[in-house]
Each structure stands twice: as structure tokens, then as C-alpha cells.
Chains A and B, each alone.
Chain A
Amino acid sequence: MSLSFKPIQPLLQTGTNAASRWFSYIGLGVGVLLLLCSVQMYINIQQLVGEAKVSSTGYDFISITKKVTNETAGQPEKNAFSEAELADIKGQPFLDGASPLVASQFHIKISGGEILPVSTDFFLESLEDEFIDTVPPSFKWEPGQINIPVIVSSDFFEAYNIFAPGQGLPQMSQETISGLPLIINAEGNGQQGKFIAKISAFSDRVNSILVPKSFLDWANKTFAPDKQFGYSRIFIKTKDANNAELLNYIDKKGFNINKDKTKFGRTKQVIQGIFTGLGVFGLLVVVMALMLFSFYLQLVIARSRDSLQLLLLLGYSPLWLSKNVSKKFIPIYVLIVLSALILTQIMQWAFHRFAMFSREELSTPIHWSVVVIAIALIILSAITNYRLVKKQLQSL
């Protein structure tokens, strides 16, 4: 016959001080819920911001510029990046590459010929192909070539279609404008050149009119051999545009960065901070509740002191008693943590369904790590309980 705890159970005076017991149960439940929800929300944010923002290539490309202030206005060399600054940016560990946008240093006029009777002063830029999102095979130029392939920012094209009707100009589709020859007149250094540009692609990433690097290098040398103002824009390549180190570096150097791309990062930092704080708070509540519960347990043992002492006197093993006394509370712990886990699951379901409209990056079931934490909490509570009871019984 195995030793039964059943006749021992009534000897534990648990009935008294029910308020203290319920407070510790509720406290534990709230603490665990806070902790689990915080962890789940933290993971949600990681999944939403961390993974969703990484582009198909796995990298973010962002342009940085120098702030033009009243002091530096009119001094183009002060508003441009020097070679040394470029090297410094390239050397930062959180960046996977940097490339300058080289601007045309000579006078350019562009016109649409007969079909698009509009003529305007313009600028051209070049960038390493690696940093451009859409590089067609035809995006090449060799000296002597009259035709220049051009990559135009989708935003510019969109802007044209918006103002065109007001100017009496035709609105165009991407296909139409791609077939349209644009006449480029370059002038400088006492020389003139005429080229025919054709839009070969549209870029969502680079807000500019890009020509092959070989063309612009040649043209700058030809039409503006003396001018060298450095680089007005630098494109950086990074795995995480929301990296705090990157943001700190940009802030410290006083550069301008695309706020929209990093805004998410700043928001993410704040939200993660909030949930980390909430998680820490939850953990604190758990610790407090466990402490309260341990006081309650000490009270139970103190009240049952005579009976427990007698049991030890009769030959009951202190270890066996400790195990069984603490085991009595395990179902309560399991129930509390399980309830918190179910509530967390409901929260996650509601968050995914109603706040995030079932976005694919998130999952309705809670993350496995939340379940692991819940199990760890049960084990932790059981162990602290057991140790406390054992210590108390040994001191009888």
C-alpha cells in the first residue's frame, strides 16, 4: 500500500485567510498574463516590422543627404559629401554598402520633340547599378553612342501625369512614354552635345533621373572638367533600416535620411520599449505574487505547525511531506497559467483579426516561445514552492 496524502490534507489549515490566498492567485494571474501578452506582442512587432520591411532582395536602400542650412546655402561644396565622408559611411559595420549619386555638373535642357512640345532645364544623376531596383540589360552606354537609356523615378512620372492636363500636355502611360525619344542638349566647357534619351525603366527606389554611370562620368569630364563638388546624395544599403545604430549615426552626423523609411524603425523602437517595459512590469508582478503566495504558504505551515510536527514525530519523511504539500498547489498554478495562456491566445486572435486584419506576417496561434515561458513559469512556481515548504518543514 502506498502512502496516501489524503488523511494528511485536512491537517493543512488552508481555509483561513482566503483573501490573502485569492489576492496572490489573482496577482499571479495578472502578472503571468501581462508577461505572456508582452512577449507575444514583442514577437508580433518583430514579425511585422522586422520581416515585413525587408525588401525582396533582403536589403533596404535609403538615400542620405546633408542638411542645407542658411549658413551653408550657396556653398555647394559644404552641402556635398567628400570622399573621406563617403569612406567613413562605407566603413560603418551596420551598412552593407554605400554608393554616391553623382549629379550632372553642366547645363542640360530636355525636350519632348514634336509629340511632347515641352522643353525644360534638367539634371541627370548616376548610381552604381547594384543600388538601382530596376536595371534593364539595355542600361549601358559607350562613348560615341547618341542614344542614352534612362531610368526615371516613378514619382516623377506620376507628377508629370498630374500637372500635364493643366499645361495642355497629354497624359501618358508608362508604355507610351517609354517609346518616346527625349532630346537632351548638354552644354558646358564651350562644348555642346545632343543626345536622344529613351526611358528604359521606372524606379520606385531612386527619386531621380538616372543615366548609366559611364555616360555621366564622360559627360562631366567633357562639359564640366573643372567642377568637383563631391556627392550631393549617398545611397546606403542595409539589412535593417530600423537599426538603432544606423539612426544614431545619422543623427550624430547631422545627415538627412528618408524619414518615412526609418519612421517605422523609430516607432518600432518606442513600441518595443513599451512592451519590454510592460514585460518587465509583468515579471515584477509575477515575482510579487509569488512572494505573496510564499507568505501565504508560510502562514499555512505556521498554522499547521503542530500537526506537521506530529507527523514528523510519527516518522513521516520531511521530503515526502514537502513534495505532497507543495504538490497540492500545482493544479492551482497550472490553472492560473493556463487561464493566462488562453487569454493571451484570445488577445492574439483578436489582435490579428481585428487590429491587423489577418495580415500574413502574423499568425493567429500564439508563438511557441510564449507557451515555453508559460510552462517555465509553472515549473518555476512549483520549484520555489517546494523549496520553501521543504525549508519550512526542516525548521520545525
Chain B
Amino acid sequence: MKLTIQDLLPVYFPESRKQNSEIWGQNLTFESGEMVKIVAPSGSGKTSLMHFLYGIRKDYNGEILYDTLSTRNFTAEDFAVQRKDSVSIVLQDMRLLTEQTVLQNLEIKRQLNPHHSKEKITEMAERLGIGSKLNSLAKTCSYGEQQRVAIIRSLLQPFRFLLLDEPFSHLDNNNSLLAMNLMLEEAKARNAAIIFADLERIEFFPFTKLYHL
């Protein structure tokens, strides 16, 4: 699978943004297996970009293609299929079902297209240090814990692209490293690409491409 952006720019950004950006206004193609790092200071449109790529928002000019198909013409149903089978995401704001337990949050995602067994959930949670939190309500978890739940959730499905929007903003270095390693393993096992947007360069992400937003 390929992910292509063509002359992309949020409608609320001036054209001048294209001049200094390696993403906005450019024609780029990302392919499976690539490790793409996007360094973006605050306000540069990092979250917008991730939302555009994942199809949450459509207020942009230019084109985004999944393989050869423009996502502009995708229906909600088309996006559902992509999100179930091909594209996964860790959102900056986690987006958990706060009244559900951690396990329920993960199980709701897993049952959609089970790539891993139930046991694997426990294993991943243990690995990221939230094994004891599986039966706690998500709203009782700290941001750091919630972030790790969101990370595990993104890994429970098959994917060709994993989009990361500041996935470690609430994690310390050690926990970030553990999470990163897990994601890298999972991506490698699927020969998937990771598009990782963050405020600054993180040393432990072995990127193959680097862009400044």
C-alpha cells in the first residue's frame, strides 16, 4: 500500500506556508515498511496532518491518495474498511471510552479485526507496565497510562500504515522507549510503515525519512 499527498495544505493556512514546509504543498509518497519522522513545532499543523491522513477531517486543499484512490471521494464506509484493515492511529488526545475498563477499550478494537489473541493484550499491557490496570475504568487511569492503552489499541489490528501523533507526550523516556520498541516490532511483523509526528526528534525512532513540517 502507498500513501500519497499532493500539494496538501489546510484551508485555514496561508499559501506562504508551503515555502518553508517539507510537507505542505509537496508531492510525497510513503510506502509500506518506511519509517517516516515528521518534526513539527507547535502550531505547524501536525495534528491536522494526521487527521487529514486518517480521514477525520477534510478541510484541506490538495489530495491524499490511498494507493491510487483519492480519500476525498471516500464514504464513511470506505474509511471504516481502511481503519479496520490497513491504517491505524495513535491520537494525541488518546480518545478512550472513559466509562469502560482498559480491557473493554482494547477488546472493542480487537474484535473488529482480530489480529492478536486476547492473551496478547495482557502480554502487551504487562510489557508497557499497565498490566494491573486492565480492569480499571479508563477514566481512573493517568494520562500516561491512557496513552499506553491507546498505543496497544492501535496494535490490535492489521495495518500497512501506523500514524502516530505525539504518542509519548505523557510518557517518560523509559516508558516511551518500551512503547516505541513494541510498535516497531509490530510494524516490522506487518511490513508496515510508521508515520511519526512529534515536536522534536526522538533518538530512538530509526527513521528512514525525515521531514520538517
Contact = CB atoms under 8 A, between A and B. Distances in A.
Interface of A: 1, 3-4, 7-8, 10-11, 307, 310-319, 394
The B interface, classified by DSSP as helix, strand, loop or mixed, is: helix
B97 A307 contact: yes
A310 B80 contact: no
25 contacts: A4-B111, A7-B104, A7-B107, A8-B108, A10-B99, A11-B100, A307-B97, A310-B96, A311-B108, A313-B56, A313-B83, A314-B108, A314-B112, A314-B153, A315-B83, A315-B84, A315-B85, A315-B112, A315-B113, A316-B84, A317-B80, A317-B84, A318-B76, A318-B80, A394-B76
A314 B54 CA distance: 10
Contacts of A312: 76, 80
A11 B95 CA distance: 14
7 closest pairs, A vs B, by CB?
A315-B83, A315-B84, A317-B80, A318-B76, A7-B108, A314-B109, A315-B80
Question: Which of B56, B80, B82, B157 lies at the interface centre, i.e. has the most chain A CB atoms within 10 A of its CB?
Answer: B80
Given A312-B80, A315-B80, A315-B157, A10 B111 contact: no
B206 interface: no
Interface in B76-127: 76-77, 79-85, 95-97, 99-100, 104, 107-109, 111-114
A3 B80 CA distance: 14
B95 A310 contact: yes
Interface of B: 56, 76-77, 79-85, 95-97, 99-100, 104, 107-109, 111-114, 153, 157
Given A312-B76, A313-B95, A314-B108, 5 more contacts: A310-B96, A310-B97, A314-B83, A315-B83, A315-B85
Contacts of A316: 80, 84, 112
Nearest to B83: A315
Question: Which of B85, B97, B99, B109 lies at the interface centre, i.e. has the most chain A CB atoms within 10 A of its CB?
Answer: B97
Contacts of B97: 11, 307, 310
B16 to A, nearest CB: 32
A310 B112 CA distance: 13
A254 to B, nearest CB: 70
Nearest to A320: B80
Contacts of A11: 97, 100
A3 B97 CA distance: 18
A4 B109 CA distance: 11
Contacts of A313: 56, 83, 95
Nearest to A395: B76
Contacts of A1: 111, 114
A10 B100 CA distance: 9
Contacts of A318: 76-77, 80
A3 B111 contact: yes
A3 B109 CA distance: 10
